[in-house]
Amino acid sequence: MKKTIIALAVLMITGQNLTAQQLPKDQRMQWWREARFGMFIHWGVYAVPAGTWNGRQIGNIGEWIMNRGKIPVEDYKAMAKDFNPVKYDPDSWVKMAKDAGMKYIVITSKHHDGFALFKSEASKWNVVDHTVYGKDLLKPLAEACKKHGIKLGFYYSQAQDWVNPGGTAIRRLTKEGWPNPDSVIIDAYTKEHNGHWDWRQETKTFEQYINEVSVPQVRELLTNYGEVAVLWWDTPNGMTVEAATKFQSLLAIQPQIITNDRLKRPDFPGDHKTPEQRIPNLADLDGTDWETCMTMNGTWGYKSYDLNYKSPQTLIRNLIDIASKGGNLLLNVGPTAEGEFPQQSIEILSEMGKWMKVNGEAIYGTKASPWGLFPWGRCTRKDTKNGTSLYFSVFEWPADRKLTISGMKNSVISAKLLANGARVKTVRTKEGELIISLPAFSPDPMASVVRVDVRGKVAEKIKQ
Ligand code: JFZ
């Protein structure tokens, strides 16, 4: 308690300076607000078991297998011998992201299993010192991103760490997917030990872990890989104000960096919110920047038997929905231990890329819909030199082939379908509603975008 008060006082005194080390928020967020679409990559030793441990399929998300299966530290570490990503081709990863229309990549530099995908002096539990592969995985990715003009960010699990001693562990019971006869004993143990299931996890204090591993590793990440666009914290559980303050001051190394809201709650809000596996309702939005992170199937880290992929149509419409509400989509890929994207992910990325090539202008650099949602689809908007472009993405082609837009007085300059450039007729009713007359059939089953250019600025909020 006393420590917290002291740390809070320090924060209040130095807080000004801490943020002053960063460039102004609007300046830092500019590229991110225009980008709208990025790739999340969850990659680590969990790709080796790929959801199966000791012949049993462990339930829940793949990167949690060590915790869910209560795998002993030494057994988990032994799996690193099979983490040999000889097929890793960062150039092709970045190209796939770019061709999909993504503008940035965020990769798990260290997830909760503590395994660093980079050379680290702070812990030997890293890809260089602990695998036969023996090479830093982030260096060549950073180079490929630079070459292709894609921004690179690092996910880093700052508090939760199940291998480096002193890290926290969120308590998850073994009953899910782990019919181990010892599970009752293990669960009782985790209750007494703050979620830990192996005595090795508690051979150092949290403070030691923060000072000896976590802070030094973040410093390495911010120092050794050129420009870092995003630092994506995760699971603030167990964080202290002292620790968060240390991380926060490291950001001075990268004054342009963007951080999320998962460093420590509630005193460190970061730059954007992180709704997970869901798209917020309009009513939940308060003007704070936000990014939905989402999986293509049901797991972040690779699971060999999770084939429950969302359709490209669903994912494209999710992206449109998100853009229409003013947010970003960070869409996940979980590569295999050999270093390949799953085939289904490759196909989804390519389908999304096809749509984005034609319709990307309805996404990039757009702002939220003035009308909110339509029953038939979504809208995004962009200020142009002489007026405003409105992008109406149609999901459900109306039976009467008419879109009725109310509450907008601006006169129409032109209206066309992005899919084929075909002109679209618009008329104004005497009540002032704009009626857009669509052709008989939707030209694109994913979503067909009608771009309507109008004169002047359109109000930010219009009642439907
Ligand atoms: C976290 C991780 O535990 C997970 O493995 C994955 O990396 C995901 C992107 O993030 O999961 C969370 C973190 C926070 C919440 C939910 C899941 N939360 O605040 O509701």
pLDDT in tens, 153-172: 999 999 999 999 999 999 99
Residue-level pLDDT at 439: 98
Find the 145 Cα to ligand 1 centroid distance in Å.
25
pTM of the predicted model over 0.85? yes
- Retrieve residue 233's tokens: 């914290």
SS3 at position 433: coil
Model confidence at 23: pLDDT above 50: yes
At 15, the pLDDT band (50, 70, 90 cuts) reads very low
117 lines ligand 1 (CB under 6 A): no
Find the 459 Cα to ligand 1 centroid distance in Å.
37
For residue 159, how far is the Cα from the chain centroid?
19
Question: Which residues are bridge partners to 268 per DSSP?
Answer: 264
83 lines ligand 1 (CB under 6 A): no
- Retrieve residue 266's tokens: 């509630």
61 lines ligand 1 (CB under 6 A): yes
pLDDT in tens, 390-418: 999 999 999 999 999 999 999 999 999 99
- Residue 220: name the closest of 117, 106, 121 by CA: 121
244 close to 264: Cβ distance less than 8 angstroms:
yes
SS3 at position 25: helix
pLDDT in tens, 303-340: 999 999 999 999 999 999 999 999 999 999 999 999 99
Find the 43 Cα to ligand 1 centroid distance in Å.
15
Among protein residues, the one whose CA lies closest to atom 17 of ligand 1: 276
Find the 334 Cα to ligand 1 centroid distance in Å.
15
- Number of the ligand 1 atom closest to the C-alpha atom of 42: 7
300 lines ligand 1 (CB under 6 A): yes
92 close to 84: Cβ distance less than 8 angstroms:
no
Residue-level pLDDT at 10: 45
Residue-level pLDDT at 386: 87
The arrangement of secondary structure in 377-455, i.e. its CATH architecture, is Sandwich (2.60)
Ranges of each domain in the chain: 2-362, 377-455
The strand ranges marked E within 43-121 are 52-53, 56-57, 104-110
CB proximity list for 385: less than 8 A, separation 6 or greater: none
Residue range 2-362, CATH number: 3.20.20.80
Residue-level pLDDT at 182: 81
Find the 220 Cα to ligand 1 centroid distance in Å.
24
- Retrieve residue 411's tokens: 């006169």
Write down how long the chain is. Answer: 464
172 close to 67: Cβ distance less than 8 angstroms:
yes
- Angle, to 10 degrees, between the axis of helix 241-250 and the axis of helix 2-20? 20
CB proximity list for 154: less than 8 A, separation 6 or greater: 106, 107, 109, 138, 221, 225, 228, 230, 231, 232
CB proximity list for 403: less than 8 A, separation 6 or greater: 374, 376, 392, 394, 435, 436, 438, 450
167 close to 123: Cβ distance less than 8 angstroms:
no
CB proximity list for 186: less than 8 A, separation 6 or greater: 70, 174, 180, 197
Mind giving me the DSSP string for 106-136? Answer: EEEEE-TT--BSS--SS-S-BHHHHSSS-S-
Model confidence at 16: pLDDT above 60: no
